[in-house]
């Protein structure tokens, strides 16, 4: 299977294969080195970083649900400067692409984070717009088309590195947000972030999460996420990175066939730390079985029913 190519491109970002790790599920990219050679991955997307360290929400912050999990971590992280000092020196030694996820409470904070990190040896940015806008009463940036456009244009102006906008699914028309991202200069979009969910303790009659609601991820959301990726691919000419409940090569192939250029493995990392590597091997086996030499010949080959 050595003659089978899994290489894909997201704009100028060249990946050895289409398997990335989703932000928030793979730490800062170093924690899994004892489980497998992470250089085999197409790329690592770091835990969300904000300008200053954040403690996040108090426990309970994670709740298991049927075929998935709810989380309300609250973007806990060590901050940009600590990341540069403590994590990045080891991270850049890995033979894979490093994509830094940025989270912020204001548009100015997004811009400042990118300005600081743009000087470092990272390969791309993923901008998490599913953050509360503190200047406008906590409304999520990602639910306002104008704000997504403004964030995109201002971030793109501060870097020559690829910029990926991570879209929330909690909107009426996700393709509108992909479209404005493209118009304002984004290299690609990743779809989707988590769906809003809730779980109740029937004995206390209180939400199980301290934050009341949280983000639902895992296999439970895969059909929903796939439909969102399909919507974006059908309506906007911009590379899409698929996310949502991928736990097997077959799951990844669904997103690729629909038209995603790459995929991210998220919640499955908590279940099987070697899961991403198994998916890479599964993709190779499938391509060999189906007589494909290059994964790009498979991407976007969906044939719709009439």
Q: Is the pLDDT of residue 1 over 70?
A: no
Under 8 Å between Cβ of 254 and 300: no
Tens of pLDDT, residue by residue over 182-233, are: 999 999 999 999 999 999 999 999 999 999 999 999 999 999 999 999 999 9
Under 8 Å between Cβ of 259 and 300: yes
Q: How far apart are the first and last CA of the chain?
A: 36
Q: Is the pLDDT of residue 267 over 90?
A: yes
Position 19 in a domain: yes
Position 303 in a domain: no
Number of domains composing the chain: 1
Position 306 in a domain: no
What integer is the mean pLDDT of 36-56? 97
Position 164 in a domain: yes
Q: Is the pLDDT of residue 45 over 90?
A: yes
What integer is the mean pLDDT of 14-26? 98
Q: Is the pLDDT of residue 66 over 60?
A: yes
Enter the pTM of the model: 0.97
- pLDDT on residue 3: 87
Position 2 in a domain: no
Burial (CB count within 10 angstroms: exposed 0-12, middle 13-18, buried 19+), residue 227: middle
Position 305 in a domain: no
Q: What is the C-alpha separation between 211 and 64, in angstroms, rounded?
A: 15
DSSP strand pairing (124-128 vs 262-265): unpaired
- pLDDT on residue 210: 97
Calculate the average pLDDT of the chain.
Answer: 97
Catalytic residues: 131
Domain with 104 in it: 8-297
The number of residues in the chain equals: 306
Tens of pLDDT, residue by residue over 114-155, are: 999 999 999 999 999 999 888 887 789 999 999 999 999 999
Position 238 in a domain: yes
CATH of the domain at 152: 3.20.20.70
Q: Is the pLDDT of residue 2 over 70?
A: no
Residue 293 to residues 24, 146, 298: CA-CA distances in angstroms? 33, 42, 10
- pLDDT on residue 244: 98
């Amino acid at each position: 299977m050595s003659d089978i190519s899994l290489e894909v491109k997201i704009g100028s970002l060249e990946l050895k294969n289409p398997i990335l790790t989703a932000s928030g599920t793979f730490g800062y990219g170093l924690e899994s080195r004892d489980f497998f050679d992470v250089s085999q991955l197409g790329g690592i997307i770091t835990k969300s970083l904000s300008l200053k360290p954040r403690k996040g929400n108090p426990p309970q912050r994670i709740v298991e649900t049927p075929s998935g999990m709810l989380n309300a971590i609250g973007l806990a992280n060590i901050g940009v400067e600590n990341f540069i000092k403590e994590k990045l020196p080891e991270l850049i030694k890995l033979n894979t692409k490093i994509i830094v996820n940025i989270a912020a409470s204001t548009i100015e904070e997004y811009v400042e984070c990118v300005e600081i990190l743009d000087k470092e040896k990272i390969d791309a940015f993923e901008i998490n717009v599913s953050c509360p806008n503190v200047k406008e009463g906590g409304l999520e940036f990602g639910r306002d088309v104008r704000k997504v456009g403004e964030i995109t244009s201002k971030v793109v102006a501060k870097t020559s590195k690829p910029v990926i906008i991570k879209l929330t699914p909690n909107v009426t028309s996700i393709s509108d947000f992909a479209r404005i991202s493209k118009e304002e200069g984004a290299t690609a979009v990743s779809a989707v972030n988590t769906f809003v969910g809730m779980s109740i303790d029937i004995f206390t009659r209180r939400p199980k999460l301290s934050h009341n609601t949280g983000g639902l991820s895992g296999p439970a959301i895969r059909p929903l996420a796939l439909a969102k990726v399909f919507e974006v691919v059908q309506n906007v000419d911009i590379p899409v990175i698929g996310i949502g409940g991928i736990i097997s090569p077959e799951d990844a192939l669904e997103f690729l066939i629909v038209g995603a250029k790459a995929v991210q493995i998220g919640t499955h990392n908590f279940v099987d730390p070697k899961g991403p590597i198994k998916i890479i091997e599964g993709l190779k086996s499938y391509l060999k079985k189906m007589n494909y030499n290059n994964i790009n010949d498979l991407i976007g080959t969906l044939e719709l029913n009439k």
